[in-house]
Structure 1
Amino acid sequence: MARYHIETYGCTSNRGESRQIESALRDAGHYPVDGPEAADVAIMNTCTVVEKTERNMLRRAKELEAETADLIITGCMALAQGEEFRDEEIDAQILHWDDVPAAVTNGECPTPGPGTEPVLDGVVGILPIARGCLSNCSYCITKFATGRVDSPSVEENVEKARALVHAGANELRITGQDTGVYGWDDGERELPELLDRICTEIDGEFRVRLGMANPGGIHGIRDELADVFARHDELYNFIHLPVQSGSDTVLEEMRRQHRVEKFTEIVETFDETLDYWTLSTDFIVGFPTETAEDHAQSIALFREVRPEKVNVTRFSKRPGTDAAELKGLGGTVKKERSKEMSELKHEIVAEAYESMVGETREVMAVREGTGDSMKCRDDAYRQIIVQNASERGIEPGMTFEVDVTSHQTVYAFGDPI
């Protein structure tokens, strides 16, 4: 669990985005500290109103870079003028607001609050289907907080999902430390059954997004799971499959319960089953035993599978974990490897969104965005922003078609038809 420091500049919308970031970080077990010096990561939510503001943002970013271990820059200037920070050689991750919480996790499992009670946030229903995991990753402190997997029954989770939909949820987010091992504590692999029953037994207009599932748990049910995705339009064609490294040697040192071949076999299964889907994955760069060749293998795997949503995290030691006892790599090495992978990420993700321009997509409006905009998701959970939403009568929960008109690195813009 990480210590974080967040600074917010600009308008009310930015402050709202920071509140959402902080809420997600707290839900994942992270906690705030006073000042960047005491933080594992500093988050700067930027503004870009006038030239003077831009100069102030660059100055403060340089200060934060020197004061904290890792720096994440988000907000309006980061998204509209991210090259300004790169031109100043500021060593930071430039991320969309939505991607900040996952980037803070250091590759660890998410840590929700006590129990597995669902939460309704606007039109988004969050349903933790289980607590705990079966992994024993050498770098992860979350296992100390969550313990072994504990799965409520399929019937219980279906009822919780139904209650969320009846309460107004149009998007159900299925979450857990590792959704792929749901039911394993009872000797069953129940994730495909749960998703199938949610889609077939609950009345209403809603979409379902499956949360993080480790490759070790998914591999044995990959065919059945891909078939469930293909049969149900309610499921976003999206899967978060954290690989963490392209090197089997590093994966062994991390004590991950998969090797690269298992990961790629899952990706191949979904490629063969679904025409249009999004792969999300995570990479940890700079693990203490990672060599230059190991890093090159991660880059090669990245290029091979071309994930469209990627969390790139520099390794940092967590107290009490076995990996914390290893002699770490130098900060410069980690920065260089992180920079190379982040640049590749921007290239691949930008290509994915650029390919959408000129196409028509059906989307669901999920959350209000900056200014008078609406964040929407298409069938593969790609983000499409609709501007002047109130003028067009668009509200969260609505489903409609858009013409994709342009794109930024991690999202596209669309005009309702």
Structure 2
Amino acid sequence: MARYHIETYGCTSNRGESRQIESALRDAGHYRVEGPEQADVAIMNTCTVVEKTERNMVRRAKELQSETADLIITGCMALAQGDEFRTEDVDAQIMHWDDVPTAVTNGECPTPGPGVEPVLDGVVGILPIARGCMSDCSYCITKHATGKIDSPSVEENVEKARALVHAGAKELRITGQDTGVYGWDRGERKLHVLLDRICNEIEGDFRVRVGMANPKGVHGIREELAQVFAENDELYNFIHAPVQSGSNDVLGDMRRQHQVEEYVEIVETFDEYLDYWTLSTDFIVGFPTETDDDHEQSMALLRETRPEKLNVTRFSKRPNTDAAKMKGLGGTKKKERSKEMSELKMDIVGAAYDEMVGTEKRVMVVEEGTGDSVKCRDEAYRQIIVQNATEHGIEPGDFLDVEVTSHQTVYAFGTPV
């Protein structure tokens, strides 16, 4: 697991965002250290109130990049003036708060707490449908903690989902180390069966988001799964299928079980069934055996499939994993490849959100945002911020129609209509 150091600047809202980041990191098994020198990754949550503050942010970012292996910059200045860091040659990943926990995980499976009990957090119900996975990735330490897949029955998970909705959940988040292999230990993959039953057997006005599912598990049920998405409005049209590399040679060294062609077939199937949906995926850059040609294949795959949400992480060694024994690439090489892919990512994601401007979307308010704003999700789970929430009388759990007025590359702004 990763050692992280986090620094927070600015207002109470920023401190709240940092607490959420830390909560997600702890849930994934990572742990905090007090200094950047001992950390695998440093996280800087920035402020941008006045020019002096901005200069201080850039100065501190330069210090941190020299003190730690990887630097992630988030917060207000990162989102509003991220180019300032790039202009000053600060070598960092710049991203929204919501993306920080995934970026730290180095491509590993998420690791929820003990057991598979549901949790209600505001209007969000978190439902772990199983524990463990069927993978044996060479870089992942999570498997040592969770073991192979252990799936409760469909009936049991449906009842847990029903209890969450009755308790006030408006958004159900289906989670697990690998949701795509749910039911494998019971002789048959049943994610599509579970989702269909949740949507059709539980009364109430709610939405369902499916968590990470590795391409190998999804590929075998891609037709059935895409059909369930197409038939049920309760499901966000969103899948997170981490491909990790565009090179089959690297995927083999990673022991990822899937091949690039299978990932592409998943994308093509969902394109066939859904007109408007979000593809989320992950890439690990700088795996020890990744050549320049392998990296170019990853860049080509990114251009071909154009995921609307993308997590780019630089490879870092985890103790007691096979990949940790491999001779690694130099830090400069990893940083160059990460920068190139991250720049392409911003172009692709920004273009997707730019296409939304001027359209009307039906959204659900999921949680409070910064200041007097709320974070909403449309049918494809794309984030739309509505400001002046009190003036409009809206709060988490509400459904409303908004006009998308602008975007900030990785999220949009909307006004109620």
TM class by smaller structure: over 0.9
Structure 2: stretches of 5+ with no match in the other structure: none
**One-letter identity of the residue aligned with 1:273:** Y
Q: Deviations over 1:146-190 (max 9, x none)?
A: 000000110110111111111111000000000000000111111
Q: Deviations over 1:38-71 (max 9, x none)?
A: 1111110000001111011111111111111110
State the distance in 2 between where 1:124 and 1:41 align.
29
Q: 3-state SS of the aligned residue for 2:389?
A: coil
Q: Pairwise mapping of residues 64-213 of structure 1 onto structure 2 (< 5 A)?
A: 64-213=64-213
Q: 3-state SS of the aligned residue for 2:6?
A: strand
State the distance in 1 between where 2:313 and 2:8 align.
22
Q: What corresponds to 1:315 in structure 2?
A: 315
Alignment root-mean-square deviation, CA: 0.5
Matched, 1:328 2:328: yes
Q: 3-state SS of the aligned residue for 1:283?
A: strand
Q: What corresponds to 1:368 in structure 2?
A: 368
Q: Deviations over 1:66-118 (max 9, x none)?
A: 11111000000000000000001101011101111000000000000000011
TM-score (ref. length: structure 1): 1.00
Q: Pairwise mapping of residues 11-410 of structure 1 onto structure 2 (< 5 A)?
A: 11-410=11-410
**One-letter identity of the residue aligned with 2:70:** D
Q: Deviations over 1:105-156 (max 9, x none)?
A: 0000000000001111111111000000000000000000000000011011
State the distance in 2 between where 1:238 and 1:3 align.
30
**One-letter identity of the residue aligned with 1:388:** N
Q: What corresponds to 2:4 in structure 1?
A: 4
State the distance in 1 between where 2:5 and 2:168 align.
34
**One-letter identity of the residue aligned with 1:303:** R
**One-letter identity of the residue aligned with 1:21:** I
**One-letter identity of the residue aligned with 2:351:** E
Q: Deviations over 1:296-317 (max 9, x none)?
A: 0000000000001000000000
State the distance in 1 between where 2:321 and 2:3 align.
16
State the distance in 1 between where 2:164 and 2:46 align.
34
Q: 3-state SS of the aligned residue for 1:340?
A: helix
TM-aligned CA deviation for residue 391 of structure 1: 1.2
**One-letter identity of the residue aligned with 1:64:** L
Q: 3-state SS of the aligned residue for 1:152?
A: coil
Q: 3-state SS of the aligned residue for 1:81?
A: helix
State the distance in 2 between where 1:177 and 1:326 align.
25
**One-letter identity of the residue aligned with 1:275:** D
TM-aligned CA deviation for residue 390 of structure 1: 1.1
State the distance in 2 between where 1:338 and 1:359 align.
33
State the distance in 2 between where 1:258 and 1:125 align.
31
**One-letter identity of the residue aligned with 1:134:** M
TM-score (ref. length: structure 2): 1.00
Structure 1: stretches of 5+ with no match in the other structure: none
Q: 3-state SS of the aligned residue for 1:390?
A: helix
**One-letter identity of the residue aligned with 2:293:** E
Aligned residues: 417
Q: Deviations over 1:312-342 (max 9, x none)?
A: 0000000110001100000000000000000
State the distance in 2 between where 1:20 and 1:391 align.
26
State the distance in 1 between where 2:353 and 2:393 align.
25
State the distance in 2 between where 1:185 and 1:128 align.
16
TM-aligned CA deviation for residue 27 of structure 1: 0.7
State the distance in 2 between where 1:86 and 1:268 align.
35
**One-letter identity of the residue aligned with 1:363:** V
TM-aligned CA deviation for residue 366 of structure 1: 0.4
Q: 3-state SS of the aligned residue for 1:230?
A: helix
Q: 3-state SS of the aligned residue for 2:29?
A: coil
Q: 3-state SS of the aligned residue for 1:91?
A: coil
TM-aligned CA deviation for residue 225 of structure 1: 0.2
**One-letter identity of the residue aligned with 1:291:** T
State the distance in 2 between where 1:99 and 1:294 align.
25
Q: Deviations over 1:12-46 (max 9, x none)?
A: 11111111111111111111111111111111000
Q: 3-state SS of the aligned residue for 2:246?
A: coil
State the distance in 2 between where 1:13 and 1:391 align.
19
State the distance in 1 between where 2:395 and 2:234 align.
20
**One-letter identity of the residue aligned with 2:382:** R
State the distance in 1 between where 2:165 and 2:11 align.
33
Q: 3-state SS of the aligned residue for 1:199?
A: helix
State the distance in 2 between where 1:351 and 1:233 align.
25
Q: Deviations over 1:254-292 (max 9, x none)?
A: 001100000000000000000000000000000000000
Runs of 4+ in 1 over 3 A off after TM superposition: none
TM-aligned CA deviation for residue 248 of structure 1: 0.3
**One-letter identity of the residue aligned with 1:322:** D
State the distance in 2 between where 1:215 and 1:357 align.
31
